[in-house]
């Protein structure tokens, strides 16, 4: 399955962060504080819900139950990340609830940091870098915490899981060695090798089927007594108790939905959750993508395949959102001109869509995040994922305004910025200040609204042909589509950009980020493993190399510091177009070897000296490279036993929200 949800997660200030300005709450006692917590390499941010008070009571009740459904799937995502995840979480929760010893010691503070990191990552592996998180406190201290919290009987089992680096070292095998599945901690397979899994699903595929199912999307593949079979995620199957809770709140939501079409697709979603039938999943997606008139919308399901080494199985995620009516005017212009963009794309004409159907784009404000969207949120989303549905029925694309705004506002609460440190001169800084937010938002719009939906597969090409490189290549393709068109005069003609120079701000940010500054997230000596980071690096490094003859991008040294400066923006755009053409060919033809060569040549290995310099310069800024969010609380207001309103409160304590969720939304056993 091709992943088509942009995940420019927690982009560091000045790298490629986009933002839409949002209005402050109408009534506040004091300025809203966005930055809530910082620990390890993470900052935790609060976000607001603009327009809440203007919603009707029915809309608020609809959102409330959709939000509860989003939180009810939390355990599923934890279990998918690792078979040890729920075990460790329960241990952490019990220590936090029952330990009454010294809470001022260095070791206890290190335990708290570890707990926060695990909660933030929805498991024992770093949410972005894939490696297991090891506590900085001693194993002996952790054992003592367990003893004093009534967990003596679990020490022999739990301590190796937490402290032994050889036990589940990687969420997803990133070493390039060994079996992709058996060497990964993700819990999509049991006793099955990568070759066996590929063979199992290959037999299901029919190359001539114009409407192929997303085989394996919602199941765990296991081998028992030498026989391989699927355990399907459904109400009376795997993860059944959590799915039943999701269905309960979805049905409550359907009773107060905004229109009949919403009720129709919620019923289909509930039918799918009960049956696990992927045909019903497709029916739901078709009904969902056709409904574009509502103000409230949501995603809920097993959707993205980033965490599966084979790119087949999906993690559970959810999000509830409200349409930003004013900001959506921009995306409406883009979607209205979708055919023009497709017809003028630099790709081979035979891989262009003759007719672009059902492109729906809007700007939204998130209300509630869950599963693979929480606490780390995407900045934009484009769904559904099935290529045939996108071709025949279209897609929904969104840019999440209040999330990008919260990132920017939190950054403003820090005294230093990446832009100031890594810009070559003041002209770059001023260009980014003036146009950076606008063009970064437009990048997200074009990436989501049009990039993922552009092009088409050659007849007979499997949608799974690019396998373990599909996510990186798909995100790169959508990025290149956006970068190419950001510099097109058509955007000025449509009134989307103010002039023919504004796009340069995003070119500066993108190249600098892809070729250099994004590596602050990676430990020295490590390589790039995350799909979006690999894509940005691949694009930037490829353009740097291919443009050397014309000095398109120049590496400059000043006072011992390295900078990457764009000398020819027009030629850089040509290079973006050339690489876009090649990536579309690779996808359309299913050319696995060509895609693999691009990623492995340009997207993985980091120059060690450049990396060391970057880490040292970044350390002086005292910034955190990753960010995620605390959800607002939606609380029913009762009078005389009847709900008369739903109010929003903005919690400030990330760890407390994690503990509260553990008490209220734990439905699964630790072994599933």
| DSSP for 486-540, written as a single string | HT-HHHHHTTSSSSSSTTHHHHHHHHHHHHTGGGGGS-TT----SHHHHHHHHHH
Higher-pLDDT residue of 241, 395: 241
Tell me how far apart the alpha carbons of residues 333 and 335 are, in angstroms, rounded to a whole number: 6
Spell out the domains of the chain, with CATH numbers in brackets. Answer: 35-75+239-629 (3.30.540.30), 189-232 (no CATH)
- Which residues lie below 8 Å from residue 83, measured CB to CB, with a gap of 6+? 185, 187, 671, 672
Closest CA to 432 of 330, 517, 549, 322: 517
Closest CA to 171 of 316, 308, 1: 308
Higher-pLDDT residue of 417, 348: 348
Q: What is the largest CA-CA distance in the chain?
A: 77
Instruction: Provide the b/e sequence for 626-644 (b: ≥16 CB within 10 Å).
Output: bbbbbbbebeeeeeeeeee
- Which residues lie below 8 Å from residue 619, measured CB to CB, with a gap of 6+? none
| Cα 22–Cα 23–Cα 29 angle in degrees, nearest 5 | 130
Percent of the chain at pLDDT exceeding 70:
96
Average pLDDT (573-580) is 98
- Which pLDDT score, from 0 to 100, does residue 449 have? 83
Cβ(65)–Cβ(432) below 8 Å:
no
**Greatest mean pLDDT among 7-16, 34-43, 415-424:** 34-43
Q: In angstroms, how far is CA 226 from the centroid of its own chain?
A: 36
Cβ(172)–Cβ(309) below 8 Å:
yes
Higher-pLDDT residue of 69, 416: 69
Q: In which band, very low, low, confident or very high, does the pLDDT at 8 lie, cut at 50, 70 and 90?
A: very low
**In this model, does residue 615 exceed pLDDT 70?**
yes
Average pLDDT (644-657) is 98
The radius of gyration of the chain's CA atoms, rounded to the nearest angstrom, is 24
Cβ(301)–Cβ(266) below 8 Å:
no
Tell me how far apart the alpha carbons of residues 453 and 383 are, in angstroms, rounded to a whole number: 9
Tell me how far apart the alpha carbons of residues 362 and 296 are, in angstroms, rounded to a whole number: 12
Q: In which band, very low, low, confident or very high, does the pLDDT at 29 lie, cut at 50, 70 and 90?
A: low
- Which pLDDT score, from 0 to 100, does residue 419 have? 86
And the tokens for 619? 């350390």
Write out pLDDT tens, residues 132-186. Answer: 999 999 999 999 999 999 999 999 999 999 999 999 999 999 788 899 999 999 9
Cβ(386)–Cβ(286) below 8 Å:
no
Higher-pLDDT residue of 22, 115: 115
- With H, G, I as helix, E, B as strand and everything else as coil, classify residue 197: helix
Average pLDDT (384-395) is 92
Task: Look at the chain and count its residues.
Answer: 672
**In this model, does residue 587 exceed pLDDT 90?**
yes
């Amino acid at each position: 399955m091709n992943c088509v949800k942009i995940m420019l997660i927690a982009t560091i200030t000045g790298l490629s962060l986009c933002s839409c300005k949002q209005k402050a709450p109408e009534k506040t006692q004091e300025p809203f504080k966005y930055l809530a917590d910082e620990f390890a390499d993470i900052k935790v941010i609060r976000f607001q819900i603009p327009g809440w008070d203007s919603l009707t009571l029915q809309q608020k009740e609809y959102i409330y139950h959709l939000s509860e459904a989003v939180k009810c799937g939390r355990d599923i995502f934890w279990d998918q990340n690792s078979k040890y995840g729920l075990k460790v979480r329960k241990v952490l929760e019990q220590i936090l609830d029952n330990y009454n010893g010294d809470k001022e010691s260095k070791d206890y503070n290190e335990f708290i940091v570890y707990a926060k990191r695990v909660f933030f990552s929805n498991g024992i592996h770093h949410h972005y870098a894939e490696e297991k998180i090891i506590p900085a406190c001693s194993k002996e201290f952790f054992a003592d915490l367990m003893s004093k919290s009534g967990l003596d009987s679990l020490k022999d089992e739990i301590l190796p899981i937490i402290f032994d680096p050889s036990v589940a070292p990687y969420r997803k095998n990133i070493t390039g060695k060994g079996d992709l599945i058996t060497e990964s901690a993700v819990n999509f397979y049991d006793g099955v090798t990568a070759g066996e899994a590929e063979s199992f699903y290959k037999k299901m595929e029919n190359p001539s089927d114009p409407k192929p199912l997303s085989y394996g999307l919602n199941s765990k593949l296991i081998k028992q007594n030498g026989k391989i079979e699927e355990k399907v995620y459904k109400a009376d199957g795997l993860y059944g108790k959590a799915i039943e809770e999701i269905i309960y709140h979805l049905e409550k939501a359907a009773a107060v939905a905004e229109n009949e079409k919403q009720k129709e697709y919620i019923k289909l979603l509930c039918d799918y959750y009960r049956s696990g039938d992927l045909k019903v999943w497709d029916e739901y997606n078709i009904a969902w993508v056709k409904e574009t008139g509502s103000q409230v919308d949501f995603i809920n399901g097993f959707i993205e395949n980033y965490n599966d080494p084979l790119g087949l199985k999906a993690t559970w995620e959810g999000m509830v959102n409200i349409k930003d009516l004013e900001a959506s005017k921009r995306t409406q212009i883009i979607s209205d001109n979708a055919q023009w963009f497709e017809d003028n794309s630099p790709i081979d004409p035979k891989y262009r869509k003759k007719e672009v159907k059902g492109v729906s784009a809007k700007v939204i404000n998130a209300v509630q995040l869950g599963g693979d969207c929480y606490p780390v949120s995407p900045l934009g989303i484009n769904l559904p994922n099935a290529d045939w549905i996108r071709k025949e029925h279209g897609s929904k694309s969104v840019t999440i305004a209040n999330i990008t705004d919260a990132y920017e506002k939190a950054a403003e609460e820090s005294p230093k910025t990446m832009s100031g440190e890594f810009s070559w001169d003041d002209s770059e800084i001023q260009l980014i200040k003036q146009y950076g937010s606008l063009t970064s938002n437009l990048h997200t719009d074009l990436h989501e609204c049009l990039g993922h939906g552009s092009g088409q597969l050659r007849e007979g090409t499997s949608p799974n042909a690019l396998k373990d490189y599909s996510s990186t290549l798909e995100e790169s393709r959508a990025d290149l589509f956006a970068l190419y068109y950001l510099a097109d005069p058509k955007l000025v003609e449509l009134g989307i950009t103010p002039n023919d120079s504004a796009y340069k701000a995003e070119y500066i940010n993108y190249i600098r980020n892809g070729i250099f500054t994004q590596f602050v997230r990676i430990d020295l000596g490590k390589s790039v493993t995350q799909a979006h980071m690999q894509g940005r690096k691949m694009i930037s490094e490829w353009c740097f190399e291919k443009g050397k003859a014309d000095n398109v991008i120049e590496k400059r040294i000043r006072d011992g510091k390295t900078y990457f400066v764009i000398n020819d923006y027009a030629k850089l755009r040509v290079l973006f177009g050339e690489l876009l053409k090649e990536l579309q060919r690779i996808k359309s033809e299913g050319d696995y070897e060509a895609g693999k060569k691009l990623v492995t040549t340009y997207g993985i290995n980091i120059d060690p000296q450049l990396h060391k310099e970057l880490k040292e310069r970044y350390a002086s800024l005292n910034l955190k490279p990753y960010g995620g969010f605390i959800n607002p609380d939606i609380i029913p207001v009762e009078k005389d036993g009847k709900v008369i309103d739903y109010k929003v409160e903005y919690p400030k304590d990330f760890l407390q929200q994690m503990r509260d969720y553990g008490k209220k939304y734990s439905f699964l056993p630790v072994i599933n």
